[in-house]
Amino acid sequence: MITRSSPPRPAVTGGGARLRPLWVAGALVLLAGCMVAGLLAGAAEISPWAVVLQLYDWLPLVSADSGLAPVEQGLLQELRLPRVLLAAVVGGLLALAGAGYQGVFRNPLADPYLLGAAAGAGLTVTMAIVFVGGDAGSAAVPAAAFAGAIGGVFLAYALGHTARRSGDGTATLVLAGVAVTSFLTAIQTFVQQLKVEELQRIYSWILGDVGGGWDDLSLIAPYALLAATTMLLHGRMLDVLSVGDDEAVSLGVRAGRVRIVVLLAASLATAAAVAVSGLIAFVGIVVPHVVRRLAGGSYRIVLPLSLVGGAAFLVLADLVARTVLAPAELPIGVVTAFVGAPFFVFVLRVTRRVET
Amino acid sequence: MSALSAKGLSVALDEREVLSDVGLEVGAGGWLSVIGPNGAGKSTLLRALAGLLGSRGEILVDGVPAARLKPRERARLMAYAPQTPALPPDMTVFDYALLGRTPYISYLGREGRTDRDVTAGVLERLDLGAFGARRLGHLSGGERQRVVLARALTQQARVLLLDEPTTALDLGHQQQVLELVDRLRLADRLTVISTLHDLNLAGQYADAMMLLAGGHAVASGSPVQVLTEELIGTHFGASVKVQAGPDGRPQVQLVRGER
């Protein structure tokens, strides 16, 4: 064997494929800070210390007296806490899904909506609002969005698969995603024109909102858990895929299968996020890129830190959305796009420099 | 027993046969160099041997039919380096070489001590010890080729399939890489199958050669048997003069303006 002459405990050590505890701790502290800030922001003034005490009190087996009135406790419990948690879950899912898509497509600009998830959900939600209408229509929105997002990805995948000629098929798949997106968007536009008076409801859904409360949280929890766990377990496999399909296969990896599993998990995460929050742009691109720049490019780093970082980012974005025009609210998608779009251009410039 | 052999190997891409009925046999420690004009099917042959393409015919690795091996088992026996490897610019040299350990790690598992030690050992051996933390994007052409070789070696496979290992390297680095492969081959009795563009280099290092043209193996044997003026003239459409070099190996020279 090649290395039979086993060298004395080699001094050569590796680069960055390990997730350093410091980064995890830093990201978690950031997330906790954002969440506490999110709990504090709002029309009613509640002191930070009281919030911390109240959170502690809600933990099982311990108790503390926060000194908060029942109304304030209710406000925290029924409005602010679920809102902050939902923002965290949605942000984490979108960033994780974005990182997953980027790994599968080996393209740093892939985002969770690349394969028609957004257009699919947009269409089904528009249909629910236009054709069902009223309260029943609103109640059907999460299920419609979920089904539409999955359906859009499925359509793109089926189309990409039949059109595929040779190679790993990722380029064809992306093109199929583009085709499906414009096709479904065309239908969506047509449907929404049928009932122009619903335009505002449709648009406010599209621009995103994380005010759905505990119901929405419990609705997506199982999907979120399944998708996130699957993706987090595939970090090393995505690293192997990053050297190309031929080499991955020559290393004994069934590249096609890994790709499908991660794609399914990322699409499930996207659908879960879209179901309760609308179409929040750029989180899926911005967060994984910041992580890559700061902590390293291995997917074993990018996936978990994107999850935590995405959560923190969206909690913060929601905080901004709720406070800058208070008492009015900005749609959260406006805030993320406002930060995300300039950043997107920056990423384009930097990646171009690296590739040439 | 031969380390690698193939019988009646055929590959069709888009319903066009690009490799027809190719047979080969390389003993343990041998170096077979596959030559041929552009589009002859050299890379296809290597990819088929590596199991990256569907093919008809039989491939035997250490006497075992490759079709019966699981992907991971096959990867422990054969390592493959493509002509233009994808090198993620942000990945470090160590992490890249460590990927060669993949066939030894379970699907959702992670590398252990042994994997790291093997990788470190290989890097030391290829004089890349100081490069472990360097990012792939910051390497020169010669260094990249050595890193790719390192990844193939951490796989600890007995058979190396190298597709144009000297592409885009200058003369000195071409020599360095091929000398390195030769040294490793002799030290560890590795079996090497490479495609090489440069006929002189191919003739210098290989102990057996195969000339592919239009998907067919039109000649095979020792360098002296394959590198003849007639065969090169017929299949490359080149006018050349072949002379024996000081070590008896054939040297190919282009002849100007006869055609």
**Token representation of residue A26:** 């830093």
Distance CA B134, CA B92 (A): 5
Strand partners, B56: B10
Average pLDDT over residues A143-151: 90
Q: Chain B: residue nearest A7 by CA?
A: B121
Whether the pLDDT of residue A164 is over 90: the answer is no
Asked if B92 and A14 come within 8 Å (Cβ–Cβ), the reply is yes
> How does residue A41 score in pLDDT terms, banded at 50, 70 and 90?
confident
Average pLDDT over residues A312-336: 88
**Do the strands B64-65 and B56-61 form a parallel or antiparallel pair, or are they unpaired?**
antiparallel
Report the SS3 class of residue A339.
Answer: helix
Q: Is the pLDDT of residue A29 over 50?
A: yes
- For residue B160, the cross-strand partners are B79, B192
Task: Tell me if chain B has a CB within 8 Å of the CB of A16.
Answer: yes
Average pLDDT over residues A292-297: 82
Structure-token pair, residue B236: 């490359």
Work out the pLDDT band at A347, boundaries 50, 70, 90: low
- C-alpha dihedral over A281, A284, A289, A291, to 10 degrees? 120
Residues 109-128 of B with CB under 8 A from A: 109-110, 116-125
Pick the more confident residue, A198 or A33: A33
Q: Band of the pLDDT at A3, cuts 50, 70, 90?
A: very low
- Taking each helix axis from N to C end, the angle separating A299-323 and A213-233, rounded to the nearest 10 degrees, works out to 160
How far is Cα A152 from Cα B103, in angstroms, rounded to an integer?
35
Q: State whether residue B63 is helix, strand or coil.
A: coil
Q: What is the pLDDT of residues A42-61, one digit of tens each?
A: 777 788 888 888 888 888 88
For chain B, helix (H) and strand (E) counts, in that order, are: 9, 12
- List the structure tokens of B39: 């589009």
CB count in 10 Å sphere of residue A43: 9
Supply the pLDDT for residue B152.
Answer: 92
Q: Which residue of chain B comes nearest to A296, CA vs CA?
A: B90
Distance CA A232, CA A261 (A): 12
Residues 6+ apart with CB under 8 A from A322: A41, A42, A329, A330
Q: Is A233 exposed, middle or buried (0-12, 13-18, 19+ CB in 10 A)?
A: middle
Q: Which positions ≥6 away from B77 have C-beta within 8 Å?
A: B61, B62, B69, B157, B158, B159
Contact A236 B72 (CB under 8 A): no
**B207 occurs within a structural domain:** yes
CATH 1.20.1300.10 fits A80-355, yes or no: no
Question: How confident is the model over A308-336, as a mean pLDDT?
Answer: 89
Domain assignment of residue B259, yes or no:
no
| Residue B203 within a domain | yes
Report CA torsion sign: A161, A163, A165, A168: negative
Q: What is the pLDDT of residue A355?
A: 45
Q: Which segments within chain B are labelled E, that is strand?
A: 2-13, 16-27, 31-35, 56-61, 64-65, 78-81, 159-163, 191-195, 208-213, 216-221, 240-244, 250-254
Contact B108, A262 (CB under 8 A): no
CB B163 within 8 A of CB A244: no
For chain A, the structural domain boundaries read 80-355
CB atoms within 10 A of CB B83: 16
Predicted pLDDT of residue A5: 45
Report chain A residues whose CB lies below 8 A from the CB of B189: none
The two three-digit tokens of residue A62, written as one number: 């311990």
Question: Among B79, B86, B153, whose Cβ lies nearest the Cβ of A250?
Answer: B79
Of all residues in chain B, the one with the smallest CA distance to A249 is: B52
First-to-last C-alpha distance (Å) of chain B = 45
Residues (pLDDT < 70) of chain B are 1, 258-259
DSSP assignment of A159-190 equals HHHHH--STT-HHHHHHHHHHHHHHHHHHHHH
Confidence at residue A186, expressed as pLDDT on a 0 to 100 scale:
94
Nearest to B24 by CA among B2, B43, B40, B47: B2
**Mean pLDDT over all residues of chain A?**
85
The answer, for A216 touching chain B at a CB cutoff of 8 Å, is: no
Q: Pull the structure tokens for residue B144.
A: 């990249």
> What's the pTM value of the predicted model, to 2 decimals?
0.86
Phi/psi of residue B148, each to 5°?
-65, -40
Pairwise CB contact (< 8 Å): B74 & A252: yes
A293 CB within 8 Å of a chain B CB: no
- The answer for A 91-130 residues in CB contact with B (under 8 A) is 106
Average pLDDT of A162-187?
Answer: 82
Query: Nearest-CA neighbor of B68 among B58, B78, B76?
Result: B58
Alpha-carbon distance of A296 to B91, in angstroms, equals: 8
Q: Read off the pLDDT of each residue in A164-178 and give the average, rounded to a whole number.
A: 76
Q: Which two tokens stand for residue B162?
A: 């190298």
- B69: nearest CA partner in chain A: A252
A246 touches chain B (CB under 8 A): yes
Question: Which residues of B fall within a CB distance of 8 Å from A7?
Answer: 117, 120-121, 124
Phi and psi at residue B228, to the nearest 5°: -115, 155
Residues A94-123: what's their mean pLDDT? 89
Residue B182 domain boundaries: 2-254
What is the pLDDT confidence band of residue A140, given thresholds at 50, 70 and 90? confident
**Is B112 part of a structural domain of the chain?**
yes
Task: Look at residue A240 in the predicted model and tell me its pLDDT.
Answer: 93
User: What is the count of residue pairs from A and B with beta carbons less than 8 Å apart?
Assistant: 144
Nearest to B99 among A16, A243, A249 (CB): A243
What pLDDT is attached to residue B147? 93
Query: How many structural domains is chain B composed of?
Result: 1
- For residue A14, list chain B residues with Cβ-Cβ distance below 8 A: 92, 94-95, 98, 116, 119, 132-133
Long-range contacts of B72-75 (CB under 8 A, 24+ apart): B72/A252, B72/B103, B73/A252, B73/B103, B74/A252, B75/A250, B75/A251, B75/A252, B75/B102, B75/B103, B75/B155, B75/B157
Q: Is the pLDDT of residue A135 over 80?
A: no
Q: What dihedral angle (degrees, nearest 10) is formed by the CA atoms of A307, A313, A317, A323? A: 120
Q: What is the pLDDT of residues A203-242, one digit of tens each?
A: 888 888 888 889 889 989 999 999 999 999 999 999 999 9
pLDDT for A352: 58
d(CA B222, CA A302) in angstroms, rounded, equals 51
A254 touches chain B (CB under 8 A): yes
Question: Which residues is A288 bridged to in the sheet?
Answer: none
CATH label of the domain that carries residue B178: 3.40.50.300
Tell me which residue of B212, B92, B52, B98 sits closest to A16, measured CA to CA.
B92
Q: Tokens 């913060």 correspond to what residue?
A: A316
Question: Given CB atoms, is B70 within the 8 Å cutoff of chain A?
Answer: yes
Task: Read off φ and ψ for residue A92, nearest 5 degrees.
Answer: -65, -45
Our measurement of the distance from residue A60's CA atom to the centroid of its chain's CA atoms, rounded to an integer in Å, reads 30
Q: Are β-strands B16-27 and B2-13 bridged in parallel, bridged antiparallel, or unpaired? A: antiparallel
- Maximum Cα interatomic distance, chain A, rounded to a whole number of Å: 78
Q: Which residue's entry shows tokens 């990053």?
A: A242
